[in-house]
Copies of this chain bind each other. A is one copy, B any other.
Amino acid sequence: MDSLILKNITVVLNEPRYPENIGAAARCCMNMGLGGGIYAVRPQMPYREKMLKMATHEAASIIEEMRVFDNLKDALRQFGYVLGTSARTGKKRLPTHTPRQAAARICEAAAENRVALLFGSEKWGLQNSDLELCHGLVTIPTAGFSSINLAQSVMILAYEIHIAASAPPERFMPKLATTHELEGMYAHISELFDAAGFVKREDPGYWLSNVRRFLASYPLKARDARMIRGFCRQLLHVLNTQGREG
């Protein structure tokens, strides 16, 4: 088992509702050796006692060291590869993997990058705005009843990652752009689209969503993001100069 890889993998819980599930997720991390800790975004009822009971003594440190954030973008800013979990079968705009496929990709990515496993709230799962921050999706195969308990979903992913990390990876992903770097790039692209009048009137976010979807499926390195921003900067310069001249 490659604990250096596993140390780079963090479980990010977006708006978890039940402290028991946070505790149980901590226990999963300890069982399977995921060492990047738990980040919780706007957890509801973070009752320490209930969390600790489900975490058990062995995983209490994960709860003690859990980081809490006010919004998902902040929680994800240091991560180079973000994988969201979703039970939805429709409207999937991102490359979708089985847990086994995802685990192989995660281990490739985690050799050189911090990886976030992102889980939505027990009630709603991940929303479209959350999915925009992901590089890919993982869907756990089920029989008819597809609603899996949050901590159970964490366990299935953690289990597959543990197994994948026990085998030497066949290839490595290079150092990827962090979410923070990507969001800066998208802001730059958005600025360019506005300046270029590249806006669909009935759906102003349409083109940016399309670009996000396209770029998410190809994990960008930090230097790719810088290159794209340079390109935006240059085009904006030309557009602004033309604007003044025209």
A residues within 8 Å of B by Cβ?
A: 1, 3, 6, 24, 27-28, 30-33, 54, 56, 58-59, 99-100, 140-149, 151-152, 155-156, 159, 162-163, 166
Residues on B with C-beta less than 8 A from A159 are 99, 140, 156
Residues on B with C-beta less than 8 A from A143 are 1, 3, 6, 30-33, 162
Residues on B with C-beta less than 8 A from A1 are 143
Query: A32's closest neighbor in chain B, by CB?
Result: B143
Residues on B with C-beta less than 8 A from A141 are 162-163, 166
For the complex formed by this chain, how many copies does it contain in all? Answer: 2
Question: Which of A141, A143, A147 has the most chain B CB atoms closer than 10 A to its own CB?
Answer: A143
Contact residues of A: prevailing secondary structure: helix
- B147 close to A56 (CB less than 8 A): yes
- B147 close to A31 (CB less than 8 A): yes
A1 to B6, CA, bound (A): 32
Query: A146's closest neighbor in chain B, by CB?
Result: B31
Query: A56's closest neighbor in chain B, by CB?
Result: B147
Query: A140-B159, A159-B156 given as contacts; is B58 within 8 A of A147 (CB)?
Result: yes
Question: Which of A6, A27, A142 has the most chain B CB atoms closer than 10 A to its own CB?
Answer: A142
A144 to B163, CA, bound (A): 14
A54 to B28, CA, bound (A): 18
- A28 close to B162 (CB less than 8 A): no
A145 to B34, CA, bound (A): 11
